[in-house]
Amino acid sequence: MTIDGITPGKVLRPESIDELSQALRAESGAVVPLGAATQTCFGNPLHRADCVLDLTGLSRITEYNPADLTIHVEAGVTLGQLQHALRENNQFLPLDPWNGPQATIGGIAAANAQGPFRAAGTIRDWIIGMKVVHVDGRISKTGGRVVKNVTGYDLAKLYTGSLGTLAVVAEISLKLRARFARTATAIVRCENAAAAGRLLSAIRHSPLSPVSCEWVGPENTVWLRFGEHPSAVDWQIRNLPAADWKIIEGADESAEWEKLRRQYHELGSVMLRVIGLPSTVSEIVSEYQPHAWIAHVMNGIVLMSVSTGDEIRAIRSRYRVVVEKAPAEMRREAGTFAPAPAEYELMKKMKEAFDPEGRLNPGRHVDGERRN
């Protein structure tokens, strides 16, 4: 196994949170927590890796309370495993991150990984509690096991998206929702980017409320997914702006979205997440002319494929950009998150407070960024 060209000295596979804690207590070098390894090229390149902590052994669903719509899972439980367990009670976690069903919940949380289903937020919005193991082996929790809770600080927000650089996520409590009584997807191919832009603007200004609204290029297809009461889905399908829509449901629908998920992985070797606004999505695409893109239109986010570091700099001069995927050298050069100075200082202090020796995933997050 190599990550960013580094071969770790050893790999440990704890099978319980206590074992994870013991492993961290015993370790004195650089520690790299790893789930299903679906997003090892996200984040800044690692500086060192003395020990990889393979968390796939933490694979228990520790408690599931369907009537309370809550579940508590160890970090190594996969999204597929979770959704499968929920299905028997007609419930689900409304997320479909690009890294797919084999991704672990811990990994999805650490990276705040996301996909087209954005209407209900990202995993940060579904986490109600977390248990983490600190670099010295200390175990602590935040939040709780109830769906609404403001007891103590919400540290789960900090751990989510911090790429395992503050603490190792060991257990996650999630709230859930009932599966939609019906879903349907409408897809149309537009003539060109301008036509797609016009169609998307019409959708944004209509009463439609899709759970996913994607603009995929360069082929200029628009994907809308609806999930609601069956009558509400029907109403929305009937009220789509005039176009040559293809409506798909059931197994075909799932297969089609799975195709898009695979397509995301083939968009290019340098992928950016450009954060704009719903009204600037068209402008972003027309201005930077990416080779390929998938835009979460309702969120103002364009995932785009580019070629050079210069392009990243140019886009960053106007928009906030996260590097989703790039060769290690380019990530090192550009920085994954490029935080503003005040933000950088706070993140750096946070990292130092949790991991004073810089041993957790060294280089991955703020410690791999440059102060701008």
> Applying CB under 8 A, does 113 fall inside the site for another protein?
no
> Applying CB under 8 A, does 149 fall inside the site for another protein?
yes
Residue 279 CB, shortest distance to another protein, in Å, is 5
Q: Which two tokens stand for residue 366?
A: 């703020």
Q: Footprint of another protein on residues 283-342 (CB under 8 A)? A: 299-301, 320, 322, 336-337, 339-340, 342
Q: Give the Cα separation of 306 and 290 in Å (integer).
A: 6
> Applying CB under 8 A, does 166 fall inside the site for another protein?
yes
Q: Footprint of another protein on residues 224-283 (CB under 8 A)? A: 228-232, 234-236, 273, 275-279
Residue 228 CB, shortest distance to another protein, in Å, is 7
* Closer residue to another protein, CB minimum distance, 326 or 347: 347
22 alpha carbon, distance to own chain's centre:
29
Question: Considering only residues 11, 26, 255, 346, which one is a binding residue for another protein as defined by CB under 8 A?
Answer: 346
Asked if residues 24 and 135 have their Cβ atoms less than 8 Å apart, the reply is yes
> Cα angle at 366 between 361 and 372, to 5 degrees?
155
Residue 141 CB, shortest distance to another protein, in Å, is 5
| Torsions phi, psi for 70 (to 5 deg) | -135, 150
- Find the helix or strand (DSSP H, E) in which 174 lies: strand 168-175
> Applying CB under 8 A, does 353 fall inside the site for another protein?
yes
* Closer residue to another protein, CB minimum distance, 161 or 268: 161
* Closer residue to another protein, CB minimum distance, 293 or 337: 337
* Closer residue to another protein, CB minimum distance, 137 or 218: 137
> Applying CB under 8 A, does 183 fall inside the site for another protein?
no
Q: Which two tokens stand for residue 12?
A: 């440990």
Question: Mask 56-95, x = binds another protein (CB under 8 A)?
Answer: ---------xxxxxx-------------------x-----
Residue 43 CB, shortest distance to another protein, in Å, is 9
Q: β-strand 51-54 against 127-133: which pairing, if any?
A: unpaired
Give one DSSP letter per residue of 53-87, joined into a string: EEGGG---EEEEEGGGTEEEEETT-BHHHHHHHHH
41 contacts: CB under 8 Å, gap ≥ 6 = 4, 325, 326, 327, 328, 331
Radius of gyration of the chain (CA): 21
341 contacts: CB under 8 Å, gap ≥ 6 = 371, 372
Q: Say how many residues make up the chain.
A: 372
Residue 59 CB, shortest distance to another protein, in Å, is 23
* Closer residue to another protein, CB minimum distance, 111 or 187: 111
> Applying CB under 8 A, does 146 fall inside the site for another protein?
yes
Q: Footprint of another protein on residues 201-220 (CB under 8 A)? A: 204, 207, 209
Q: Give the total of residues touching another protein (CB under 8 A).
A: 81
Q: Footprint of another protein on residues 1-40 (CB under 8 A)? A: none
Asked if residues 114 and 95 have their Cβ atoms less than 8 Å apart, the reply is yes
